[in-house]
């Protein structure tokens, strides 16, 4: 039984990690989250009453606050997911990405190192700092059939991926220089329940249900490797509990799809599962609208996940077809979560609750 400090546990992937740990293990979770627009405690309603779940509202840039959390909870491991994560937002406002993703990771590393230095030798050896990163740090695979491996050189294209690459380098340096027992994972595009509706798949589902245009960048020929979020959460738990210190593990779903293929798959499922939806007349695909491409847009990402499969025995349980069906079904069945996120009611509640 471990105590795991999860940063960003109110976000899309972080909440899947927290739910996975509470529902499938005996471990205790301390969810540390600043609750930016992307953090949503409603995503944790299923586990929030567990005696093994704790929530701390904190910015990872707050060193004094982090020191208190480490001293109070004495975690055995940190799973670091807190980040600014939306590429489009990083283009219009990079400052928050530099603050949270780089300065925040540095601050968390220093707080973890200070705490770790004070542990007795067996706890010190067992401690883990797991940094959750993205395949976007490797850049663009345009014009080749190659896959990203753990040794692919870094070539980030956007302010988001550059900030994540920078934080990856800090984490590895803290292991090499100070001996902090770190691990890094780089994952492909995630999709699934509780995804904030600014990202492609939830945006398409929700816009289609309201009869609004389904925006696709350029021709929609950008290729991403899609992984169901619960498969990612399971992989992360395998890495933090069984991974080799100092190693990097790539995590992916073997599901290379163009953005257009993804949107068409969602449209077909909506035609099948929600033909009666009031605002649109099937086919939903008639709502597809091509918009000007994102600046610096990478054309293709694809992950070679052979190492985590070979060394930790992890493989995805969902195919793209099964995962996307579950995702569309979840959004159709959870309109209340969606409405709260979209109406700003959740933000209002948050302000009232924490002031």
Active site residues: 135-136, 160
DSSP letters for 276-320: T-TT-PSPGGGGEEEEPPPTT---B--B--HHHHHHH----S--H
Q: Using CA atoms, how far apart are residues 284 and 210, in angstroms rounded to an integer?
A: 10
**In this complex, which beta carbon is closest to ligand NAD, that of residue 134 or of residue 222?**
134
User: In 118-158, where does DSSP find H-type helix?
Assistant: 121-126
Closest CA to 229 of 263, 188, 269: 188
14 binds ligand NAD (CB under 6 A): yes
Helix 320-333 with 259-273: angle, nearest 10 deg? 50
Which of 19, 30, 33, 233: binder of ligand NAD (CB under 6 A)? Answer: 33
Q: How many other CB atoms sit within 10 Å of the CB of residue 244?
A: 12
Can residue 34 be called a binding residue for ligand NAD (CB under 6 A)?
yes
Minimal distance in Å, beta carbon 351 to ligand NAD?
14
For ligand NAD, which residue of 104, 156, 220, 323 counts as binding (CB under 6 A)? 104
Binding-residue total with ligand NAD (CB under 6 A): 30
Beta carbons of 163 and 133 less than 8 angstroms apart: no
Tokens of residue 38, six digits: 């992307």
Closest approach of ligand NAD to the CB of residue 231, in Å = 12
Q: Is there binding between residue 38 and ligand NAD (CB under 6 A)?
A: yes
10 binds ligand NAD (CB under 6 A): yes
C-alpha–C-alpha distance, residues 180 and 172, integer Å:
9
Q: In degrees rounded to 5, what are phi and psi of residue 86? A: -105, 115
- Using rule CB under 6 A, residue 347 touches ligand NAD: no
Q: Does 82 help bind ligand NAD (rule: CB under 6 A)? A: yes
Judged by CB under 6 A, the residue of 5, 8, 109, 214 near ligand NAD is: 8
Q: Which residues bind ligand NAD (CB under 6 A)?
A: 7-8, 10-14, 33-36, 38-39, 59-61, 81-85, 100, 104, 132, 134, 164, 187, 189-190, 196
């Amino acid at each position: 039984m471990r105590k795991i400090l999860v940063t960003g546990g109110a976000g899309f992937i972080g909440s899947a990690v927290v739910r996975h740990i509470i529902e499938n293990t005996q471990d205790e979770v301390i969810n540390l989250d600043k609750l930016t627009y992307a953090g949503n405690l409603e995503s944790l309603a299923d586990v929030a009453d567990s005696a093994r779940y704790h929530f701390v509202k904190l910015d990872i840039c707050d060193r004094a606050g982090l020191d208190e959390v480490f001293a109070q909870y004495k975690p055995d491991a940190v799973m670091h997911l807190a980040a600014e994560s939306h590429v489009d937002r990083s283009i219009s406002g990079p400052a928050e990405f530099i603050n949270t993703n780089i300065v925040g990771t540095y601050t968390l590393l220093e707080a973890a190192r200070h705490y770790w230095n004070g542990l007795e030798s067996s706890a010190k050896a067992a401690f883990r700092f797991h940094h959750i990163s993205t395949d976007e740090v490797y850049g663009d695979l345009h014009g080749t059939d190659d896959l990203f491996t753990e040794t692919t050189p870094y070539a980030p294209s956007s302010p988001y991926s550059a900030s994540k690459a920078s934080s990856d380098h800090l984490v590895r340096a803290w292991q090499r220089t100070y001996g902090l027992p770190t691990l890094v994972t780089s994952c492909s595009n995630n999709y699934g329940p509780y995804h904030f509706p600014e990202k492609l798949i939830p945006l398409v589902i929700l816009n289609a249900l309201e009869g609004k245009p389904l925006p696709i960048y350029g021709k929609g020929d950008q290729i991403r490797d899609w992984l169901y979020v619960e498969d990612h959460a399971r992989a992360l738990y395998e890495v933090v509990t069984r991974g080799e210190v100092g190693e990097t593990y790539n995590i992916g779903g073997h599901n290379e799809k163009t953005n257009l293929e993804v949107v068409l798959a969602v449209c077909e499922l909506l035609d099948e599962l929600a033909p009666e939806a009031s605002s649109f007349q099937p086919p939903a695909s008639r709502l597809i609208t091509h918009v000007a491409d994102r600046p610096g847009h990478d054309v293709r990402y694809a992950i070679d996940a052979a190492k985590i499969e070979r060394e930790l025995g992890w493989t995805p349980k969902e195919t793209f077809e099964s995962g996307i069906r579950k995702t569309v079904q979840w959004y159709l069945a959870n309109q209340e979560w969606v409405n709260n996120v979209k109406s700003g009611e959740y933000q209002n509640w948050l302000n009232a609750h924490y002031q």
